[in-house]
Structure 1
Amino acid sequence: MNVTINGNPCRLPEGATVAHAVEVLTSTAAGVAVALNDEVVRRGAWRSTPLGENDRVEVLTAVQGG
């Protein structure tokens, strides 16, 4: 299935979830927020929220600095 993750086209297997999309970008879930088609997805729902063809996923990570 084709989705867009952070503006980049990505091919994921059928049945992929929001958690799969996060794993494409990072191996850690700490400091990460996700929006699916402009709606925030709670961390507890990542594994149970399926992705569909042409969905748009934004994975945001917290960054420290000064």
Structure 2
Amino acid sequence: MKNYFTILINGDPFNCYYSMSLFDILKYLDIDINNVIVEYNNDIINKIQFNSLFFKPNDSIEIISIVGGG
């Protein structure tokens, strides 16, 4: 039995372990959670849910970076 499955991140396949939460994936990808918006299967996810959101095979997330400037 495999311990991982594939999800889509910004349209690209990504193999993740069943035990990985959204927070774990963002940390693994070295993404600052304070500067992103995450869409999970077409719904915007609140940052307080990042630790409790776990994926199923073929789920899709879009990670949108917030860039400030002046």
Q: Normalization by structure 1: what TM-score?
A: 0.84
Tell me how many residue pairs correspond in the alignment: 66
The Cα offsets for residues 23-64 of structure 1, whole Å up to 9 and x where unpaired, read as 343331121110110011100001101111000010111123
Seq. identity, %: 23
Q: State the SS of the aligned residue for 1:30.
A: helix
Write out aligned runs for 1:16-35 (5 A).
16-35=20-39
Unpaired segments ≥5 residues, structure 1: none
What code does the residue aligned with 1:45 have?
Answer: Q
Task: Sort the Cα spacing of 1:33 and 1:58 in 2 relative to 1 into closer, same or farther, 3 A.
Answer: same
Q: State the SS of the aligned residue for 2:25.
A: helix
Which stretch has the larger CA shift, 50-59 or 9-18? Answer: 9-18
Unpaired segments ≥5 residues, structure 2: none
**2:55 alignment partner, one of 30, 51, 58:** 51
Distance, in Å, in 1 between the alignment partners of 2:51 and 2:34 is 15
